[in-house]
Chains A and B, each alone.
Chain A
Amino acid sequence: DAKTTQPPSMDCAEGRAANLPCNHSTISGNEYVYWYRQIHSQGPQYIIHGLKNNETNEMASLIITEDRKSSTLTLPHATLRDTAVYYCIVRVQTGFQKLVFGTGTRLLVSP
């Protein structure tokens, strides 16, 4: 079972920031938080990951709370092409690589 909880859907106006929350209250100390998104008919696309510090790249920012029980992915200026299902995943960095996907958040960006 997925170890994360996300809202099933969210709406965002084009050009505004999209803030996608994720709860992972049972996260272990050695587990990272990963975010992927899946645009219709495509494979999942890696966005960002972090352990406990805030992270930023060209696509998004990731803020992880101090207790690490929740995180927020921010798309600073959402575009119509950001419409997708966003998955929050916790994963250990050791052992074999296995991503456990939940049902994600369906983000709809509207004009």
Chain B
Amino acid sequence: DAGVTQSPTHLIKTRGQQVTLRCSPISGHKSVSWYQQVLGQGPQFIFQYYEKEERGRGNFPDRFSARQFPNYSSELNVHALLLGDSALYLCASTLEGQSSSPLHFGNGTRLTVT
């Protein structure tokens, strides 16, 4: 079975541009979460979506937005990119919005802002 897939794997953008990252959850998983991992640090929570609704949001500015589609895939959008947005962006899926089911992560999209 396919795991969580993310695209693209690498991306280079210029400061001020916008970017869209995509995530396909494991088949049957209805919840998707997004994390940002800056080099040398652990991942930080950005958003959780369940059944197309935002369930939680981390401490990130409004430049970060996301949505979930009827097929449970998700997009993360970042506007007005800053150099500090350079990071590995991870998507994770799980069966339900609230459960003991563990999160399963993709291998991420590495975003470089120049």
A-to-B contact residues, CB < 8 Å: 2, 32, 34, 41-46, 49, 87, 93-104
Min CB gap B11→A, angstroms: 15
Which B residues fall within an 8 A CB radius of A? 4, 31, 33, 35, 41-45, 48, 50, 55-56, 58, 90, 92, 94, 97-100, 102-108
In angstroms, Cα B102 to Cα A49, docked, is: 8
Tell me the smallest distance from the CB of B14 to a CB of chain A, in Å.
Answer: 24
A interface majority secondary structure = loop
Query: Provided the pairs A96-B97, A99-B45, A103-B42 are in contact, do residues A44 and B105 lie with their beta carbons within 8 angstroms?
Result: yes
Give the contacting residue for B55; candidates A42, A87, A96, A102; CB below 8 A: A96
B43 and A101 within 8 A (CB): yes
Nearest CB in chain A to that of B57: its residue: A96
Contact flag A97-B43 (CB < 8 Å), given A42-B107, A43-B108? no
Chain A residue numbers with a CB within 8 Å of B106 are 43
